[in-house]
Structure 1
Amino acid sequence: MTLDSATTAPQPAGAENGPDTSKGRRQFRFPSAFAVLIALTVAVWALTFLIPAGRYDVKDGSPVPGTYHPVQLATGFWDRLKDLFLSPVNGLYGVTDAGTGITTPGGTGSFAGAAGVFLFILAVGAFITVTMRTGALTAGVARLAQRLRNHRTLLLVVLMTVFSLGGTTYGMAEETLGFYGLMIPLMLGLGYDRMVAATVIMVGAGVGTLASTVNPFATGVASDSAGIGTGDGILLRMAMWVCLTALAAAYVARYARRITQDPARSLTPLTEDDRRIKEEGSDAVRLTSRQRTVLCLFAATFLFMIFAVVPWSDIHVTFLPTLGWYFPELAALFIVAAILVGLIGALGEKGTADAITAGAGDFIGAAMIVMLARGVTVLMNNASVTDTILDALQSAVGGTSSGVFAVLMFAVNLPLAFFVPSSSGHAALAMPILAPLADFAGVGRALVVTAYQSASGWVNLITPTSAVVMGGLALAKVRYDQYLRFMAPLMGALLVVVAGFLVIGAALH
């Protein structure tokens, strides 16, 4: 999952080679998602004094096209300054008064904060960290690689599919950094290079996140912010995941086959150290019965989450009950699953508790980013400028076909994904404004969610503001320019395929 992807990232491999020209001057480092969102909060607050206040009439929770009208605010400067001060708190547990439309902590009315998402993110973090500490995930991937060692192309496809599954279900990102030490000697031993080792992991998980099906940090947060269920639009996203994963796997396998036939075409030629690692091979990996059970429980938890959030009745699957679970139930599911995994994985009571605490701590960054982003939304709503911005955007996209609208939503999210590389922060920030545009365009809000997550995932495959990208390349000892050269054709192909799916999704609505 993408936490604060713009935090300090290791320098790309090869940066240490050559003379040090950085002495005596400070190197530029892109600000973290926290810094971006805090700056954005202040900037949005200042802009609320310049943007005219206005509102739409609302029917059944959606703005009614053509009903936008200016309004006069009853709040003064000091009230607005207090809103800025309380924006993070409002973003967590603010309540919107039905009469005034103002969100405050401890008020009465409808809940506007992201407390449910906040707790859910911590629960998922605890579950994943407990599972990682049992060693089951690492051992499982290693065992899979061993079994398919004599079927190299099949191995690449299977491994990329496994990492892609992690991306599409829970936004696997930072967790991939632990697999480079395993994947590099394996790929070198099979006759491949470091680029293959890096891209099996990075592109596999990245494409899965791009085509998220139930990823709580992208699909979940965005769906919540858009006012729809996580399962809405899942069939289109599943089809995207299958096609994009196949495309990425075929691309990596083609490169791998090409360099085995002609090693001179490798973008990362073998070094003496690589040759030594290749000769040593990899140690045998044994998967214990406990780890097998943990892996089964890990997979079952995510499968049950998918079952619990999908509106089966809406897609005419009558033999399965629609549970309609949301963030409270899902948070409880992952907390219980984390405890079971810890105990089954022989972490013991203290080890399980420590892992749960550590996991929640590791994921607090993602949770706080959602809180800050939701706080920006509250600022805009309290100043009654959200509908003004929505009216301007509606005028810009008005008259376009549904297919063009879907592609425009993808394009609008591309720069946002660069400046806010946290998928959850991006979702919480953009969806309250962009999702209602779907009502005007006559398409489902789920399509806007799909367009957002596709843009976020596409950018995060290559952005230098991502610690996952830069950290992974540093671990693999692949230069960033080499990686960009490898990725350029694939990025173009992904762009075309994603645009095609968005147009199809709009046409089928």
Structure 2
Amino acid sequence: MSVDVKEKQDKKEKTFKVPHTYVIIFAVILLCSFLTYTVPVGQFETQEVKYMQGEKERTRTVLDPESFQLVTNEAGETVTKPVPIFGTEDFGGIGMLNYVFEGLVSGDKWGSAVGIVAFILVIGGAFGIVLRTGAVENGIMAMISRTKGKEFAIIPIIFILFSLGGAVFGMGEEAIPFAMILVPLVIAMGYDAIVGVCITYVATQIGFATSWMNPFSLAVAQGVSGIPVMSGAGFRIFMWVVFTGIGVAYTVKYALKIKKDPTKSVCYESDAYYRNDFKGKENIQAEFNTGHALVLLTILLTVVWTIWGVVKNGYYIPELASQFFVMGLAAGIIGVIFKLNDMKLDDIASSFQSGAADLVGAAMVVGMAKGIIIVLGGTDPTSGTVLNTILHSMGNAVGSLPPTISAWLMYVFQSVFNFFVVSGSGQAALTMPLMAPLADIVGVTRQVAVLAFQLGDGFTNLIVPTSGCLMGVLGVARMSWGDWAKWQIKMQAILFVMASLFMIVAVMMGYN
């Protein structure tokens, strides 16, 4: 290691170090536990809302915003529901110190946490097999050798494609397997893992936040709010162009900086895992045979199959996990037949195991993050919980100010609430029944209220440690959330300012 590089690394070690993700989540658990001792619990009644999405009638169970009431005891006094230290039968087995277990086993196969945890582990195992064949590594080296001087063009092109994926069909979890290929690729090209995360996950969430047709969040939010589904597309398409342009420009500028001096990356040390794998191979002619080509073709066919399944048939976590498992199995069989990297039949099993093990840390975060919601009582609006009280109180606070400020505070509120409920459709079902009528009261259109939800939900997905998708991608990139947050906070500030401006413009033009 050169003296200059060592000095730069020593300087980095002296700067403030963000605590480990597990430490941050535990601190939030302690705060939420304290709130259960001090904040009275409240509840809503629910109602069925019907709306049209294309030619299909959809039904959604949402809370009734006028029905909120604090839970009282026999004496008519408000009550709290303190979470016990350990789980008790009266509290549904939930306790402050078993939030990890309860978080991991919560939900079902279609969502957080069990579904996403299983999805992450299956994806990790499948790509463990793919990477064992050597097809991706050899393909990367072959691509770099053939695109000398032109490889930079890959960054804006891939960013725009992934942003379109987020806008058109709500691409999110699907970014995890793509990151497994693209993160090593950009590192081998002289960039860092942050660039790989930007052109995959960041791009999808910029598209997600500015989508004009996302069926999983925008359509639900508009339907719940009682406005035509997929309406207001013109303004949102313009917004998508602007924010995607900002994302591309920011990523390209950063990539050029890292290309010039890789040691300026906050993940320079963690990138060594991939960087060392390619070290010394830059001038070696990569062996790329028929077996390697068939493995890469298998990946491509899986991508096409996935997009078709999501767009045409509404595939979600269970189906996606199965698709990528089939991909890994097929790649392993090809590897054995063509003896790629001297693969044997047992190597399929062992590489699946090691691939899944690489993402165990990211999967654990998903369960821990879910534990935060469980400690607050869960997201059921009909149960007496602290979260319901917080939701109602924040909704009332937003409605007491002038229209433009109220609309902006709706955006801020949705951004903060996304820390607790990361699911787009889940957040829409919880918050839009409150925000839509509130928009009528403060004098802004319901379309503006939906826009506040959309922007607040999408952009904060890039930084909240409670996002299973984000933590999955960071796990693939072998980057800690702390390092990512130190870099992302500047981009987050730009997105926040621009989103605030769009909110103000939307109010002024009576966006409908």
- Does the TM-score normalized on the shorter chain lie above 0.5? yes
Matched, 1:207 2:202: yes
Matched, 1:40 2:28: yes
Query: Residue 459 of structure 1: CA displacement?
Result: 8.1
Matched, 1:62 2:32: no
Q: Per-residue displacement from partner, 1:405-426 (whole Å, max 9, x unpaired)?
A: 7865664576799xx8xxxx97
**Where do residues 108-127 of structure 1 align in structure 2 (5 Å cutoff)?**
114-127=113-126
Q: Secondary structure at the match of 1:345?
A: helix
C-alpha contact (below 8 Å) 1:54/1:385 kept by paired residues: yes
Of 351, 368, 375 in structure 2, the residue corresponding to residue 372 of structure 1 is 368
Which residue does the alignment assign to 2:41?
53
Query: Residue 308 of structure 1: CA displacement?
Result: 2.3
Structure-2 change in CA distance of 1:148 and 1:29 (3 Å): closer
For residues 257 and 447 of structure 1, the distance between their equivalents in structure 2, rounded to whole angstroms, comes to: 33
For residues 413 and 7 of structure 2, the distance between their equivalents in structure 1, rounded to whole angstroms, comes to: 34
For residues 53 and 379 of structure 1, the distance between their equivalents in structure 2, rounded to whole angstroms, comes to: 13
Structure-2 change in CA distance of 1:67 and 1:197 (3 Å): closer
Which residue does the alignment assign to 1:91?
103
Structure-2 change in CA distance of 1:354 and 1:408 (3 Å): farther
Which residue does the alignment assign to 1:389?
390
Query: Residue 59 of structure 1: CA displacement?
Result: 1.0
Unaligned runs of 5+ in 1: 1-11, 96-104, 185-195, 269-279, 311-321
Which residue does the alignment assign to 1:455?
460
Q: Secondary structure at the match of 2:299?
A: helix
For residues 206 and 193 of structure 2, the distance between their equivalents in structure 1, rounded to whole angstroms, comes to: 20
Q: Per-residue displacement from partner, 1:121-157 (whole Å, max 9, x unpaired)?
A: 2122222332233333333344333333354664554
Matched, 1:359 2:323: no
For residues 360 and 250 of structure 2, the distance between their equivalents in structure 1, rounded to whole angstroms, comes to: 36
C-alpha contact (below 8 Å) 1:163/1:205 kept by paired residues: yes
Which residue does the alignment assign to 2:435?
441
Of 185, 188, 191 in structure 2, the residue corresponding to residue 182 of structure 1 is 188
Structure-2 change in CA distance of 1:174 and 1:441 (3 Å): same
Q: Secondary structure at the match of 2:37?
A: coil
For residues 345 and 111 of structure 1, the distance between their equivalents in structure 2, rounded to whole angstroms, comes to: 32
C-alpha contact (below 8 Å) 2:40/2:389 kept by paired residues: yes
Which residue does the alignment assign to 1:143?
142
Q: Per-residue displacement from partner, 1:232-271 (whole Å, max 9, x unpaired)?
A: 98x99998777655544456667999999xx9xxx99xxx
Which residue does the alignment assign to 1:193?
none
For residues 386 and 323 of structure 1, the distance between their equivalents in structure 2, rounded to whole angstroms, comes to: 34
RMSD (CA atoms): 5.7
For residues 160 and 502 of structure 1, the distance between their equivalents in structure 2, rounded to whole angstroms, comes to: 25
Structure-2 change in CA distance of 1:433 and 1:39 (3 Å): farther
Structure-2 change in CA distance of 1:41 and 1:147 (3 Å): same
C-alpha contact (below 8 Å) 2:414/2:453 kept by paired residues: no
Q: How many residues align?
A: 420
C-alpha contact (below 8 Å) 1:407/1:451 kept by paired residues: no
Structure-2 change in CA distance of 1:458 and 1:41 (3 Å): closer
Structure-2 change in CA distance of 1:255 and 1:57 (3 Å): closer
For residues 236 and 129 of structure 2, the distance between their equivalents in structure 1, rounded to whole angstroms, comes to: 28
Query: Residue 388 of structure 1: CA displacement?
Result: 0.5
For residues 65 and 141 of structure 1, the distance between their equivalents in structure 2, rounded to whole angstroms, comes to: 54
TM-score with structure 2 setting the length:
0.61
Letter paired with 1:350: D
Of 294, 310, 327 in structure 1, the residue corresponding to residue 317 of structure 2 is 327
C-alpha contact (below 8 Å) 1:127/1:334 kept by paired residues: yes
Structure-2 change in CA distance of 1:367 and 1:255 (3 Å): closer
Letter paired with 2:20: S
Q: Per-residue displacement from partner, 1:334-365 (whole Å, max 9, x unpaired)?
A: 22222112222344432221122122222222
C-alpha contact (below 8 Å) 1:163/1:204 kept by paired residues: yes
Letter paired with 1:40: V
C-alpha contact (below 8 Å) 2:133/2:332 kept by paired residues: yes
C-alpha contact (below 8 Å) 1:88/1:371 kept by paired residues: yes
Query: Residue 389 of structure 1: CA displacement?
Result: 0.9
Matched, 1:30 2:14: no
Which residue does the alignment assign to 1:297?
298
Which residue does the alignment assign to 2:276?
none
C-alpha contact (below 8 Å) 1:447/1:505 kept by paired residues: no
For residues 111 and 177 of structure 1, the distance between their equivalents in structure 2, rounded to whole angstroms, comes to: 27
Unaligned runs of 5+ in 2: 49-60, 75-80, 224-228, 266-280, 337-342, 378-382, 437-445
Query: Residue 376 of structure 1: CA displacement?
Result: 2.4
Matched, 1:342 2:345: no
Letter paired with 2:430: P
For residues 241 and 126 of structure 2, the distance between their equivalents in structure 1, rounded to whole angstroms, comes to: 26
For residues 118 and 213 of structure 1, the distance between their equivalents in structure 2, rounded to whole angstroms, comes to: 22
For residues 400 and 390 of structure 2, the distance between their equivalents in structure 1, rounded to whole angstroms, comes to: 17
Letter paired with 1:455: T
Query: Residue 43 of structure 1: CA displacement?
Result: 2.7
Query: Residue 56 of structure 1: CA displacement?
Result: 0.8
For residues 305 and 398 of structure 1, the distance between their equivalents in structure 2, rounded to whole angstroms, comes to: 42
Q: Secondary structure at the match of 1:62?
A: strand
Query: Residue 294 of structure 1: CA displacement?
Result: 2.1
Q: Per-residue displacement from partner, 1:148-167 (whole Å, max 9, x unpaired)?
A: 33546645545766898899
Which residue does the alignment assign to 2:78?
none
C-alpha contact (below 8 Å) 2:175/2:201 kept by paired residues: no
For residues 178 and 296 of structure 1, the distance between their equivalents in structure 2, rounded to whole angstroms, comes to: 18
Structure-2 change in CA distance of 1:374 and 1:301 (3 Å): same
For residues 11 and 477 of structure 2, the distance between their equivalents in structure 1, rounded to whole angstroms, comes to: 24
Higher relative contact order (CA closer than 8 Å, sequence separation 6+) = 1
Query: Residue 437 of structure 1: CA displacement?
Result: 1.5
C-alpha contact (below 8 Å) 2:104/2:114 kept by paired residues: yes
Q: Secondary structure at the match of 2:389?
A: helix
TM-score with structure 1 setting the length:
0.61
Query: Residue 472 of structure 1: CA displacement?
Result: 8.6
